[in-house]
Amino acid sequence: MRARTALLIGFMLLALVVYGVLIGFKGVLLLGSGSVVGVLLGLAVLVVPLLGVFVVFRELQFGQRCAVLAEELRAEGALPVDDLPRRPSGRVDRAAADAHFARMRARTEAAPDDWRSWFRLALAYDAAGDRTRGRAAARRALELHGH
Computed over every residue of the chain, the mean pLDDT equals 89
Read off the pLDDT band of 38 (50, 70, 90). Answer: very high
Q: What is the pLDDT of residues 98-119, one digit of tens each?
A: 888 889 999 999 999 999 999 9
pLDDT of residue 1: 59
Q: Are 116 and 73 in contact (CB under 8 A)?
A: yes
Q: What residue type is 60 in one-letter code?
A: L
pLDDT of residue 147: 67
pLDDT of residue 98: 84
pLDDT of residue 85: 87
Q: What is the pLDDT of residues 44-92, one digit of tens each?
A: 999 988 888 898 889 889 999 999 999 999 999 888 888 888 888 888 8
**Distance of alpha carbon 134 from alpha carbon 78, whole angstroms:** 18
If residue 91 lies in a helix (H) or strand (E), which one and from where to where? none
Check residues 25 and 127 and name the one with the higher pLDDT: 25
pTM metric for this prediction: 0.76
Distance (Å) of CA 22 to CA 29, 99, 123: 11, 49, 38
Domain ranges of the chain: 3-76, 94-145
Share of the chain above pLDDT 70, in %: 99
Q: What is the mean pLDDT of residues 28-51?
A: 91
Share of the chain above pLDDT 90, in %: 48
Q: Are 119 and 144 in contact (CB under 8 A)?
A: no
**Distance of alpha carbon 27 from alpha carbon 32, whole angstroms:** 9
From the list 68, 129, 67, the residue with the least C-alpha distance to 97 is 129
